[in-house]
Amino acid sequence: LYKFGETVSICFWTDTWQPDSFYDKIASNREKGMHTLCLLDIKIKEQSIENLMR
């Protein structure tokens, strides 16, 4: 079976926000010989109130 370390979330970057805290956790898991489950952010079109009322 697989050994999993800490799970990380990888978010989309913007011009003013570029989080990189996930990298340290992935590196730590790798040093311990563990896999990392990465939760990836997805871009979807937000529903407008008009569309939700249909």
* Residue ranges making up the domain that contains 39: 8-52
For the stretch 1-47, pLDDT in tens is 789 999 999 988 888 988 889 999 999 999 999 999 999 988 777 66
Residue 40 located in a structural domain: yes
pTM for the model: 0.69
pLDDT at residue number 44: 73
CA distance to 12, 34, 50, per residue, from 2 (Å): 28, 8, 46
Query: What total number of domains does the chain contain?
Result: 1
Which alpha helices (DSSP H) does 1-54 contain, by range?
Answer: 21-31, 49-52
Residue 2 located in a structural domain: no
Residue 14 located in a structural domain: yes
> Between 11 and 50, where is the model more confident?
11
> Between 20 and 53, where is the model more confident?
20
Residue 1 located in a structural domain: no
pLDDT at residue number 28: 97
pLDDT at residue number 36: 97
Residue 44 located in a structural domain: yes
